[in-house]
Structure 1
Amino acid sequence: MEIAEALMNFKDQVPMLGCENAWIAAGALMAALKNEGTLKITEAQILEVLNRTHRQAIGGYCGLTGVCGIAPGIGACFSVILGAACPKDRETVTTMTVVAKIVNVIAQETGPCCCKNFVRHALTEAIALVKELLNISLTQPSDPIVCTDVERHPHGCRQEKCSYFRS
């Protein structure tokens, strides 16, 4: 989560809404797993995750199809780690189950959509799934996250409906 927060704080370079946030979520999860060390994540695997995310994170699709690009980004992480592919069984089931859970978590946070909120909630769920499915513990921030992007939201911040809003 700390990696994603650091990247999202480049406000001049990362738009409030956009697929860059999906790349941040996927890249941050892979970097955290690499830093943790159990899986021996390679640069090639991280690049593969980012390429897969880039192919499926398409602007506006959250509203057009119901799939925010963050979900396939997190799915790409699990797919690469597990070696999921169409002819495989458990690896693909697990990856699809992860994506379904991430979509559900994000869906609970819409109205209007907020990529920063989605990154935070998706990574919180992904960290729990990494523990459950891969038996790897990644740390969560000890201090509550407070959003500093309220004024940047082009559709209006959800304010009190968002768990990261502080007045």
Structure 2
Amino acid sequence: MDISKDCLICGAALSYRETAAEHLCNYCRQAFTANISCPAGHFICDNCHSASANELIKTYCLTAEATDPVAMAIHLMHSPQIKMHGPEHHFLVPAVLLAAYYNHKQKPSEKAAKLAEAEKRARNVLGGFCGFYGACGAGVGVGIFVSLITGSTPLAQTTWSQSNLATACALQSIAGFSGPRCCKRDSFLAILAAADFLHNVFNTALPVKQAITCEFFSQNNECLQTRCSFYTGE
């Protein structure tokens, strides 16, 4: 057995064995035969390993059956393509919300078109939007999500209001914390705000994990530490 590399998901030492075995990719959920294994059972196929951040997000959300958008976001955040900070979070937020919402509604066939449109819209939300435009991209991602599930347009009435209100609720939650930005913290806050909005406005309750423990603070040089509700220091 030759151990020479770490798992990109959990960091554990990977084992290379003489006999190949079947593994399920953690992102596309397809089965592959490989001689490599992680002691925690993680496996990333070559396609997902080389995919861009947005491609990986979209692939995972298309195949995932989960209904907890927070758990889905954390799973994706462990992939090497999702950096500590970056505009990929502007797509990650609406993507996991769309996937969880349509899985919950038992309408997974709706995900492909909605995710494609969410990705297109999220690309217009530039990096640094939070500080330079006064609107965190994760919060804007909530508005993208609500506009897509309601079919809102600039000429709509009720859904136009709902989309803007959803964004406002997410931004208010994000703004409740002092800067500097943290794409992980802001994404968690945006997703939680979206879940509350879904419950209060659309009477749709997603099984969202509320007690979030940040596993990424050591990668953030500007971490608020004890001033962040997701920080444990462990």
The two structures share one fold, judged by TM-score above 0.5? yes
Write 1 or 2 for the structure with the bigger share of strand.
2
Aligned position for 1:148: 215
Name the counterpart of 1:54: 123
Distance 2:158 2:105 in 1: 24
Segments of structure 2 that go 5 or more residues without pairing to the other structure are: 1-69
C-alpha distance in structure 2 between counterparts of 1:46 and 1:7, whole Å: 15
Looking at secondary structure, tell me which structure has more helix per residue.
Answer: 1
Confirm whether residue 162 of structure 1 aligns to residue 224 of structure 2: no
Deviation at 1:100, TM superposition (A): 0.9
1:125 aligns to 2:189 (yes or no): no
- Structure scoring higher RCO (CA < 8 A, sep ≥ 6) equals 1
Q: Name whichever of 67-76 and 39-48 sits farther off.
A: 39-48
**2:98 and 2:111 in contact (8 A); partners too:** no
Q: Answer whether contact 1:109 1:118 (CA < 8 A) is retained.
A: no
- TM-score w.r.t. the length of structure 2 is 0.66
Bigger CA radius of gyration? 2
**Which is worse superposed, 93-102 or 45-54?**
45-54
| CA distance in 2 between partners of 1:13 and 1:62 (Å) | 21
For 1:51 and 1:110, locate their aligned partners in 2 and report how far apart those are by CA, in whole Å. 30
Residue aligning to 2:87: 19
Find the residue that maps to 1:42 and give its secondary structure: helix
In 2, Cα distance between the equivalents of 1:102 and 1:131? Answer: 14
Q: Identity of counterpart residues, as a percentage?
A: 27
Pairwise CA RMSD: 1.5
Distance 2:212 2:156 in 1: 38
CA contact (8 A) 2:138 2:187 kept: yes
Aligned letter for 1:153? N
Is 1:68 matched up with 2:136?
yes
What are the Cα deviations for residues 112-135 of structure 1, in whole angstroms up to 9, with x where unaligned? 210100111111110011111221
